[in-house]
Amino acid sequence: MLNYSPSATHCCHLPLAPKLSLPSSPSLSQSFPSSLYVSFPFLPQQLSSHYVYGHLDIKTEPVRRVKQRRIIKSKPVRKGLKIVNSKSEPLKVMISGAPASGKGTQCEMIVQKFGVVHISTGDLLRAEVSAGTEIGRKAKEYMNSGRLVPDEVVTAMVTARLSLKDVKEKGWLLDGYPRSSAQAETLEKLNIRPDVYIMLDVPDDILVDRCVGRRMDPSTGKIYHIKYSPPENGEIQARLVTRPDDTEEKVKSRLQIYKQNAESVLSTYLNVVKKIDGNRPKEVVFNEIDTLLSRLQKDKEESSKSGKLARSEIQLDRSSSDEKNWRGIPTRLNNIPHSREIRKYFYADVLQATQRAIKDGKTRLKVEISIPELNPEMDVYRIGTLMELVRILALSFADDGKRVKVCVQGSMGEGALAGMPLQLAGSRKILEFMDWGDDGAMGTFIKIGSIGGKEVEEQDDMFILVAPQNAVGNCIIDDLRAMTDAAGHRPVILVNPRLKDLPGSSGIMQTMGREKRLEYAASFEICYSFRLLYYAGTQYPIMGALRMSYPYDYELYKRVDESPKKEKYVILSKFPKRPSGEEINDAFEGKTRDKAKRATGIW
């Protein structure tokens, strides 16, 4: 979970970047000018406590997210189901997902643990059908054919239930509602909004199998599955029933209807979406939901104690929008300073890519993000954006209970050759001065160190290395390798590394052998990459962008002027691997490649 801390309001901004030169060549550059790599120019030797770098006011910007994580770490949350009593505003949760994604199953466990009131439109409608009411008679035909029951029928039921006293006291868990944009709009108008919108994600073929094998106990309402969750005894088994809409054919049609509506409903709740992989054993799925809701509840309790507004700051989950629900990359990227929204976009994008990669067991990762604001070669104030990104990554992993070491390289070489890249001078101090929250995360879950084997301590869970780079005459790779050797299977993330050789008269750069150095540098897998594309040799205008967020393809975007001061990015192509300059040029020129011909080099 990520809470973005406000920053822009307290920042003073240094002057804009100098005007960039106009295009000199019509072909797009994929060699990416070196200035697009982050490096850091002159930083003041003395850091005043009021110094502001970019958007990062190192003294005034508050970070409040770590407390609940620390509590989780030092006092593990009990996994046994137990009702949590809370005096703060109760939880408001929506759970969504395709038919048979496990909503009902998870709801049972959520209710047991958190005591919220479960409102399932499917269950309410089925109760009306079995009671033979007017609503039931109307709904039956729709339900049996797998279609949605008319909005007005369902909405009346839900809003009536939501207005009852128990819901106000215990909070709510809406299951299967809203299911259309009209239903979502109704709730919006009534100011009924969830703290979190959980989306269970399960592949289609699994869903069919789950539906067809589902059985329900009419006495208790408990859900079973003939394979995955068989009944406890023969007596229960004998009374189990199959839902009339659980045939393979009807499931497929329900799935189609779900897909038609899912995106429009999701778009209402984008800022509170949490996508969860539902294709795992139900207990594992619940563990993730449990952690999420427990944190949310702590957030609410703390907010109510401090008298501040409850902040349910579940991060925007771009994993849910990465592929199908892509909402476009930010515009006006040459305008410095970037807006807070733009920075948030990139922080969330990088964070989610790294989280996914680490979840998949990757241990050697690099993030390469080169937007103008992360290019401090132009002016120092942009270093703040890089530090803010690193802080968000560190806090978020710490939030998950990991002990994170944030490392900046120290002085390299010896004697007259001792030194460090000018761009990194002072960055360790900035990290130390930054506000890491007032709950003691810094020093416990987050530590600051430098790069080298000796920095690796037994208790460290992972390492974030800030822009490790070679300096003239000095090679960082030996230290880096010593560090990764000591880190073993623990993740090491390089943020904007610069590991290319730099010419050095002393030849010290050659310590390890060029080939080996390059091989080592390449052993880090890119988990996030974003760069703007310009005409070769220019930085104006922006022609497009290339983005990759693990584990998805590289996406090539073209920037299009819609009207004066209005632009958008349209996707041109996707590539499983980083495209070459030639491939990018071709995509921009609308040329398609014939793969067979390409194999022989003929077009």
Q: How far is the CB of 280 from ligand AP5 (least distance, A)?
A: 6
Candidate segments 83-91, 217-225, 234-242, 547-555, binder of ligand AP5 by CB under 6 A: 217-225
**Alpha-carbon gap, residue 561 to 332, rounded angstroms:** 11
Residue numbers 92-131 binding ligand AP5 by CB under 6 A: 97, 99-105, 121-122, 125
In angstroms, what is the C-alpha Rg of the chain? 27
103 is catalytic: yes
Indicate which single residue of 56, 148, 386, 464 sits in contact with ligand AP5 (rule: CB under 6 A): 148
458-461, long-range: CB < 8 A, 24+ apart: 459/403, 460/403, 460/404, 460/405, 460/487, 460/490, 461/397, 461/402, 461/403, 461/404, 461/490, 461/491
Residue of 65, 69, 179, 382 marked active site: 179
- Which amino acid, one-letter code, is at 122? G
274 is catalytic: no
Binding residue count for ligand AP5, defined by CB under 6 A: 35
243 is catalytic: yes
Candidate segments 59-67, 173-181, 301-309, 506-514, binder of ligand AP5 by CB under 6 A: 173-181
By beta-carbon proximity to ligand AP5, the closer residue of 124 and 446 is 124
Residue of 103, 215, 405, 559 marked active site: 103
What are the residue ranges of helices labelled H in 115-193? 121-131, 134-144, 151-162, 165-170, 181-189
Candidate segments 209-217, 269-277, 334-342, 499-507, binder of ligand AP5 by CB under 6 A: 209-217
CB within 8 A of 87, min separation 6: which ones?
Answer: 301, 304
Residue numbers 261-300 binding ligand AP5 by CB under 6 A: 281-282, 285
DSSP states of 198-250: EEEE--HHHHHHHHHTEEE-TTT--EEETTTB--SSHHHHHH-B--TT-SHHH
By beta-carbon proximity to ligand AP5, the closer residue of 126 and 338 is 126
Residue of 92, 254, 318, 498 marked active site: 254
- Phi, psi for residue 59 in degrees, rounded to 5: -105, -30
Q: How far is the CB of 186 from ligand AP5 (least distance, A)?
A: 11
Q: Which residue is nearest to ligand AP5 (CB)?
A: 122
Strand partners, 274: 198
179 is catalytic: yes
Candidate segments 5-13, 176-184, 433-441, 571-579, binder of ligand AP5 by CB under 6 A: 176-184
Indicate which single residue of 70, 73, 254, 391 sits in contact with ligand AP5 (rule: CB under 6 A): 254
Question: What CA–CA distances, in Å, run from 505 to 186, 451, 473, 477?
Answer: 71, 24, 7, 18
CB within 8 A of 486, min separation 6: which ones?
Answer: 453, 454, 455, 456
Binding site for ligand AP5 (CB under 6 A): 97, 99-105, 121-122, 125, 142-143, 146-149, 154, 176-177, 179, 183, 210, 213-214, 223-225, 228-229, 245, 254, 281-282, 285
List residues with catalytic annotation: 103, 179, 214, 243, 254
